[in-house]
Amino acid sequence: MQVAFIGLGAMGYPMAAHVLSGKHSVTVYNRTGSTAHRWLDEKTNNHPDASIADTPVLAAKNADVVLMCVGNDDDVRSVVYGDKGVLSGMKRGAILIDHTTTSAELAIELGKACADKGLRFLDAPVSGGQAGAENGKLTVMLGGEQSIYEQVIPILDCYAQKHALMGGVGKGQLTKMVNQICIAGLVQGLSEALHFATQAGLDIRQVVDVISKGAAQSWQMENRAHTMVKNEFDFGFAVDWMRKDLDIVLNEAKRNKSTLPVTALVDQFYAQVQANGGGRFDTSSLITLLNKH
């Protein structure tokens, strides 16, 4: 397929390379042009099917599938709409896939905008962090039509170990919200557990080795416990982005009348981490608030 990839951040940079490795033609666009040129130099080995474009509309021209992975709702709108946006360049029948974590309302808006232009749309937020993107092991939660989803499975397989259609447009974003609710509570619980174990004089490595084989086991414990106790917080998904995601979650909770007391509390803990200068720390940095006591 002819693919356009919009956004070469920590996630998009390796994802676009995986698509190219999957024997698809890839044209990339990034707001910071030097990053796009670096991607071309580092990730393509002068592959004839790799190129860069100066604007989203030029990247999307002639593409069968346009993938986006940018920052937030406003960033998505900035590359979708207007004379330079992808909607102005996509050919009729092409598919737009948004891997950005956004509001469900934006997904529905984009779905309608695509339909009005004879285009097709899938909202498709991802989970797995920078390591998952680099290793091609992401999880993708999609919203849209089954027939569209089936057509892009060869693309998704390039960088995902698991992908599933969760329902109509917006359901992928709602599923990602569930994912972030789980992470928030798990990281706070793990932080408190490690803090307690330290205060109790236990051998952290031994404790984690034992309890990770039982009911307390989680991805966070397996991958972050030992780095947390060593105050290492440079693992990709930043607190700033987690707060953006939790803001989306809490706004949606107000709309659908969900009660999320733990999520709201942990969001405020992340706000404290930001205030302490840890906005670029990864999400496991919640433990820093406990280690001060």
The catalytic site residues sit at 176
What is the rounded distance in angstroms from the CA atom of residue 194 to the CA atom of residue 196?
5
What is the rounded distance in angstroms from the CA atom of residue 180 to the CA atom of residue 273?
17
What is the rounded distance in angstroms from the CA atom of residue 42 to the CA atom of residue 209?
38
What is the 8-class DSSP label of residue 90? P
The residue ranges of DSSP E strands in the chain, in sequence order, are 2-6, 25-29, 50-52, 65-68, 95-98, 120-123, 126-127, 138-142, 160-165
Crossing angle of helices 261-275 and 171-199, in 10° steps, is 70
100-112: b (≥16 Cβ within 10 Å) or e? bbbbbebbbbbbe
Structure-block tokens of residue 284 = 């496991």
What is the rounded distance in angstroms from the CA atom of residue 90 to the CA atom of residue 101?
22
For 91, phi and psi rounded to 5 degrees?
Answer: -80, 155
Strands 126-127 and 138-142: antiparallel
* Residue whose pair of structure tokens reads 């709108």 in the numeric block: 77
